[in-house]
Structure 1
Amino acid sequence: MKHAVTGPVRHHFIPAAGVLLHALEFGKDTSDMPPLVLLHGVTGHAWLWHDVAARLAANRRVIAYDLRGHGDSQWSAEARYDSEDHIADLQALSNSLSLERFSIAGLSWGALIGIGFAARHPERVDRMAIVDVEASFSVDQDAVAPRPETFASIEEAMAWERKANPHAPSDLLELFARQSVRPAQAGGWVRKHDPFFFRRWPFRRDDRWSELRSLRMPLVLVNGGRSFVRTEVMQDMAASVPGAQFEIVADSGHLIPLEAPDVLAQQLVRFFDAPLSGSK
């Protein structure tokens, strides 16, 4: 089997409220461009952003981290996984890494966390990308569709991810699948995230419409053309914020950083590298 290869990545372990957060850092602080923080969604992890982060790191520091209960971040013993806990974690991480003012790109739950943080700390967020999420939900937090908890082999885990993300580049899909599991005590492989997320997705209680409408930093909203996230809702979200941009990645499902990293990276480079209005 050909194994995935990644470029240089620095690892951080950052204390938050009751947990250690694991973060990946790409690039160097060699320009005037604000750092960029990348947030994944439920049951995901930071490596999802690998290819996009590597592209964006040409001009800035890029930090992608595992949300509490996910990847190599610690699980919460008290199951403190509400969006407010994650918003507080983002503040702890940004303070620890001396990110006084930075940009955010969030996928799904990560975008909701970004909206919540930006609404509370608008002076700290330079601009933000909201990737494939609706601002509120009609589905109950406990209505979580069943998904495999264990795999007999890495190849089986990769096959599951391939079925869910048919257009993902092979090397990135392998990297994502390998980082999604760990060896199980009884043999085989088990998902890295807290089993809590097999039965509950707390973000479904969120309603971020009011916070979204309050934002005045530059925004771009990105929707997957094959995603279950409704295009008309994301268009309404963009229309609710003066000057917000809207983009569609036609040949991608929900995990756009995994299925269409090149297209998404191009869109985000244009957005994050564009001069702010009034700048020279």
Structure 2
Amino acid sequence: MMASAALQHAMVELDGIALHTLRFGRERNDAVPLLCLHGVTGTGWLWHDVAQQLCHGRQVIVPELRGHGDSQWSRDAAYATDDHLRDLEGLLDALAIDRCDLAGLSWGALIGIRYAARHPHRIRKLAILDVEASFEQPVDAVPQRPESFPDLQAVCAFERAANPGAPEALLQLFAAGSVRPGENGTWVRKHDRFFLRRWPFRNDDVWAQLASLEMPLLLLHGADSFVRREVMERMAGLAGTSRFHEVAGAGHLLPLEAPHVVGAHLEEFFQA
């Protein structure tokens, strides 16, 4: 069993797309909320343990991107970063959040950078987790991964191989939250099949937006990630109020593999 602080599920309707959100802790007037964004093929459950650490004294809101988790899929495959950016704008307006802190992993970080550049007065601090500001690979260079699994044990085994450092309870929660029942007793990915073929963020280049940011930035890199440390260090060098840390023994999915370390870095950064 996994102990969990107060957790609410909510669906927010945004111009034809319903976004599922996980909300940890309770809303407080004396603390800005924290939003945490996941990456491609991820779900909000990736952030569970980190959100548990950070929700004491503030509310932590974890939306699931369109086409992912329990959020609605786009009928016309409108999955560009601009589409997610508009969703984030609509979500914050719908929740009447005038100002917040934001932490984004991978694609979620790119969305966060774009939002912060467009609405600098609405982001107090921004944490960027394990992503490069531009890409050399084309959008259709997607790593092969199974679409379905014979049982939940197979899902956990796949996630364990990809994320060897993840705590067992969190890994099981993330694995179970990433699939739904399919045909003939199988389990299928909750995300749109579109993402088995194309990753639209590979068209992104946010170097200019990143250089324009004036709010404090925290950049976290997984020491065992495919994301290049030297690129993230160069990203950190663009802003005078940025910090860079590398998380030892962790790969790309930092909140999954090193939740306590990531939570500690985020807590120190956002409370400073």
Runs of 4+ with deviation above 4 angstroms: none
Deviation string 1:136-192 (CA, Å, 9 cap, x unpaired) is 000000010110110000000000000000010000000000000000023210000
Deviation string 1:75-101 (CA, Å, 9 cap, x unpaired) is 000100000000000011111111110
Name the CA distance, whole Å, in 2 between partners of 1:93 and 1:102: 12
1:51 aligns with 2:43: no
Aligned to 1:81: 79
Calculate the TM-score normalised by the size of structure 2. Answer: 0.98
1:273 aligns with 2:239: no
1:209 aligns with 2:200: no
Aligned to 2:134: 136
Name the CA distance, whole Å, in 1 between partners of 2:34 and 2:152: 31
Deviation string 1:57-112 (CA, Å, 9 cap, x unpaired) is 01211000110000000000010000000000001111111111001000000000
Cα deviation for residue 4 of structure 1 reads 4.4
Name the CA distance, whole Å, in 2 between partners of 1:197 and 1:17: 22
Letter in 2 for 1:71: G
For residues 97-246 of structure 1, the aligned pairs below 5 Å read 97-246=95-244
Cα deviation for residue 31 of structure 1 reads 5.6
Letter in 2 for 1:158: C
Secondary structure of the residue that 2:183 maps to in structure 1?
coil
Q: Contact 2:5/2:25 (CA < 8 Å) preserved in 1?
A: no
Cα deviation for residue 5 of structure 1 reads 4.8
Q: Structure 1: which 5+ residue stretches go unaligned? A: 275-280
Secondary structure of the residue that 1:93 maps to in structure 2?
helix
Calculate the TM-score normalised by the size of structure 1. Answer: 0.95
Name the CA distance, whole Å, in 1 between partners of 2:130 and 2:141: 20
Name the CA distance, whole Å, in 2 between partners of 1:55 and 1:95: 26
Secondary structure of the residue that 1:186 maps to in structure 2?
helix
Name the CA distance, whole Å, in 2 between partners of 1:149 and 1:7: 32
Secondary structure of the residue that 1:44 maps to in structure 2?
coil
Q: How many residues align?
A: 272
Taking only aligned residues, the RMSD between alpha carbons, in angstroms, comes to 1.0
Letter in 2 for 1:212: L
